[in-house]
Chains A and B, each alone.
Chain A
Amino acid sequence: MIQFRIDGRSGVAPYLQLVQQVRHALRLGLLHEGDQLPTVKEVVAQVAINPNTVLKAYRELEYEGLATGRRGVGTFVTKSLVDTSFAAQGPLRHDLERWLAKARRMGLDEDSIRALFEDTFQVLMTEDVA
C-alpha cells in the first residue's frame, strides 16, 4: 500500500503532491494496474490533511486516466507507467553508458556530470507536474 507524505514547505499544492507520489509509485512499479489506492479515510488518518484534498487528487488522477473510482468500492489504478522487462531497460542502460563516455571525453569531472544530470532531471520532473 502506498504511503503518502505532504511537505508543507515545498510550495507545491498538497493535492498535486499526492498526484505526483502516485505517479512516482506507478513508475517504480510499487503500484500496478488494478491495485486499490488507499481510501480517503485511510489517507487522512495517515497524513493529517483535509479529505477534500484527497478527493481532488483522486479526481485529478481520474482525469489523467491513471485511476478510476468505483462507487462503494474504492479508487483503482487503471494504467501502469513502468515497463519492467529487461529488454526495455537494456537499451536504456546502453544509451546511458554512451552518454557518460561522451561527457568524460568532453572533460567533465564526476561532480560536473552529477550536477548536469540532477539539474536536467529536476527540470524534467517539474515540467512533468505542470
Chain B
Amino acid sequence: MTNSIEAVALGKRYRRRWALQDCTVAIPAGRVVGLVGANGAGKTTLMHLIVGLLRPSAGAVTVLGGRPGEGPDQLARVGFLAQDAPLYGTLNVGDHLRLGRHLNPGWDEAAASSRIDGLGFDLRQRAGQLSGGQRAQLALTLAVAKRPELLLLDEPVAGLDPLARREFLQSLMESVAEHHLTVVLSSHLLGDVERVCDYLIVLAAGRVQLAGDVNELLATHRVLTGPRRDPRSLPGDIEVIEEAHTERQSTLIVRTETPIVDPAWTVTELGLEDLVLAYLGQSAAAARPPTSPLNANEGPT
C-alpha cells in the first residue's frame, strides 16, 4: 500500500523554539489517522507543513508523492479544514460554495449541493451568523467537494456541543466511505479518535511519541500487574512504557511482540485512551528534571 504522507526528520522552528522536531512518519493511504496530543504539542504545525501553509525548518515531507503547496495540482489533491473552521464572515453560504467552485477545478457541485441541502442550510445566511456546528459542516463541505485524495482536519469538533460533534463525525465518515478518502484528523478527544481512527500518531512536546495501526498497537501493548519487581529484570524484548509501584505491587504498561509467559504477572489488554495517556506520560516524565537522591529508594513514579 502506498503512503499518502511521508515525513523524514521534519521540523519547524519559530525563533528559538522548535514547535515540531525530528518527525519521521509514514502514513498509509486509505486510513483515518488520528493525530493526538495536547494543545501546543505540534499537531497544527504538522498539519500546516503537510498542506503547505508552513515551510519546514528541517527535514522534508512528501504528500501524495509531491511537495506540499507546490502548484495547483498538488493543492487540488489535498483538502484542509483548519482549526475553528475559518470562513469569511461577511460572505454567505452560497458565496462560499461559489468560492469553492471558482477556486477548484475539481469541484463537485452536485456533491456540494446535496450536502448543503441535506444539512438544511439557508444559502443566504452569512457565515458569521452560523453556529459552531454549522460552520464546521460548511467548512467540511468546502474541503470535501473539491474531491481531494487526502483530507486533513485540525481539531474540527473541539468547540462543538456533543450533538454537533456526533453529526459532524457522521457526516465525515459518510464522505470517507463514499469517496475513499485518506483522512488525518487531529484531536485531543480520545473517545472520538477511538471511534473513527484506524491509525494513530501521538505527539508530545513537538515529537512523535507513537505511530502505528490501532489494532496492531492494541495487540502489542499490555498491562502487567504483579508483585513489586524491578522492571529491568524483564526480558529485553519487552519495552516498558509506564511503570507504577507501591510497596508491594508493580503495574507496568509494556510493549512486546511476544506473549508474556511469566506466571507472576497478570496480563490484561489496554484501551486506546490508556495507551495514549501512557505515552504522553512517558514524554512528560522525560521532560521533568531527574528525581533527587532522597527519593531514589521509592523508585520512579
Contact = CB atoms under 8 A, between A and B. Distances in A.
Contacts of A1: none
A45 B174 contact: yes
A14 B169 CA distance: 16
A46 interface: yes
Interface string A13-50: 01000000000000000000000000111001111111
A44 B191 contact: no
B196 A45 contact: no
A118 B194 CA distance: 31
B237 interface: no
Nearest to A45: B174
Nearest to A39: B177
B179 to A, nearest CB: 10
A42 B32 CA distance: 18
Interface residues of B, number: 19
Contacts, number: 48
Interface string A47-77: 1111111100000000000000000000000
A8 B196 contact: no
Question: Size range of the interface on A?
Answer: 10 to 19
B173 to A, nearest CB: 4
Contacts of B170: 44-48
A18 B266 CA distance: 30
A6 interface: yes
Contact of A49 (B31, B171, B196): B196
Contact of B198 (A39, A41, A50): A50
Interface in B133-187: 166, 169-174, 176-178
B169 A50 contact: no
A8 B173 contact: no
Given A8-B191, A8-B195, A48 B166 contact: yes
B213 to A, nearest CB: 11
B267 interface: no
A48 B169 contact: yes
Interface of A: 6, 8, 14, 39-41, 44-54
